[in-house]
Structure formats: C-alpha cells, structure tokens
Amino acid sequence: DAGITQSPRHKVTETGTPVTLRCHQTENHRYMYWYRQDPGHGLRLIHYSYGVKDTDKGEVSDGYSVSRSKTEDFLLTLESATSSQTSVYFCAITGTSGYNEQFFGPGTRLTVL
Amino acid sequence: QQQVKQSPQSLIVQKGGISIINCAYENTAFDYFPWYQQFPGKGPALLIAIRPDVSEKKEGRFTISFNKSAKQFSLHIMDSQPGDSATYFCAASMGNAGNMLTFGGGTRLMVKP
C-alpha cells in the first residue's frame, strides 16, 4: 500500500452531517490525491495536493473540500453529506520514478443515509 | 465526458486462456498509460504501464499493446489463472507527476478453473 493508510475504513452517516476522511502517508511524497469510485465510472479525481497548503480541484470537486497542513496528512471533508456522495473513497500518492505512477490506499467505504 | 473508454465491462475466460481488455482515449496529450488491478475490498494496484515511445511492454504474463495512431491500448493476460480474477482499470494521463489519472470504467475478469 506504499505506506498509505486511510481512516475510517467504513463509515455510515446521515444526510446533512459533516464528514472528514483522513489519508496518511509515511514516505514524504509530495503529491496526494483523493478519488471516488462508483460502478461504471472507474475512479474520478476529487481534489489533489502538490504540497503543504497547496491543493487544487479535480473532475468532481463539488461538495468536497480538502486540507493539507502536514506533508503526511491529506484530509477530505464533506461539509454536508448527501446520498450522492455514497461511494468508496481512495487516497493516492505519486511515486518517485518521475512518471505519474500513482499508488492507492485501501479505501474508505462511505454510506450516506 | 469520459475521455478513456474501456471494453468489455465483463469478461469470462477459461484457465490457461488469453484475456484481452481494450481501451481507447481521446486526448492526444496523454503520454502515460497504466493498468491497475483491483481485488474486492482493496485499493487499485499498479500492474503495468507504458509510454507511447514503445508499442509493446511485457511483464511476466501481462503485456500492454499500444497503437498511437488509433489512440488505443490493450492489456493481454497470457495463461490466465483463477487468481487473476479481479477488476482491471486502464488509465491515462500526461506523464509528469502531479497530473490526474483519467480512468476507464473497468473490466470485471473472471477466470474459470
């Protein structure tokens, strides 16, 4: 898992509640990403970070925010969860090869009721 | 807008057979094409990747074939084994670190013993 952990691994919440997912890496990688995985859509990029306090939007960023105050942690926040945000969320980092090799964490399954 | 189209959605192959999964892309700026393998409950794992300066790359039983003029690439799994049963995703990006991966929709492969 390239030294990537995600927490929680499973979460059930109710519509309208805030939710924060955490991604932690141990290898000091610069680039970190949040993707969501839904059937038939593969994985879609939500937000990514290219350094501490440097983040940018991805393909499906509406309803999500991120923060990166330390190199090792990248947080994804759903300010007010909706049922359409029920998904599996994956964090990824880019390796050190110089190419865009991305390595994924184990995922967080989020259910919004 | 799905920039990477993957087919088939599902595939059943007999043990020892060849599994072939195809992807087509639209963005001619893409220059890095990885394949990921995902088992249930796990994150996607980088399997093999190719850059467009070569037409084929082989790693063990896994081969990527790349056709730049047709904007297509494919994964061939030779001597398919039941342990290869998983979901496979193709992806594409511009090659430098920090760029987003655009994923195909995935292919669920089942290898029958």
Contact criterion met (CB < 8 Å) for B101 and A45: yes
Confidence of residue A95 (pLDDT cuts 50, 70, 90): confident
Count other C-beta atoms under 10 Å from residue A82's C-beta. Answer: 11
Q: Give me the DSSP letters along A72-89.
A: TEEEEEESS--GGG-EEE
Within 8 A of A42 by CB-CB distance, chain B residues are 4, 6, 89, 91, 103-106
Q: How many inter-chain contacts (A to B, CB under 8 Å) are there?
A: 70
Q: Which residues pair with B36 in a beta bridge?
A: B46, B89
Of A36-40, A66-70, B59-63, B68-72, which gets the smallest average pLDDT?
Answer: A36-40
If you ran DSSP here, which 8-state letter would residue A10 be given? E
Within 8 A of A98 by CB-CB distance, chain B residues are 96-97
Higher pLDDT, B3 or A10: A10
Residue A42, pLDDT score? 85
If you ran DSSP here, which 8-state letter would residue B83 be given? G
The two structure tokens encoding residue A107: 């995922």
Express each pLDDT in B35-94 by its tens digit.
999 999 999 999 999 998 899 999 999 999 999 999 999 999 999 999 999 999 999 998
Within 8 A of A106 by CB-CB distance, chain B residues are 42-43
Count other C-beta atoms under 10 Å from residue A51's C-beta. Answer: 12
HSE of B105, CA atoms in CB hemisphere, 13 A: 13
Residue environment code for B4-37, b if the CB has 16+ CB neighbours within 10 A, otherwise e: bebbeeebebeeeeebbbbbbbeeeebbbbbbbb
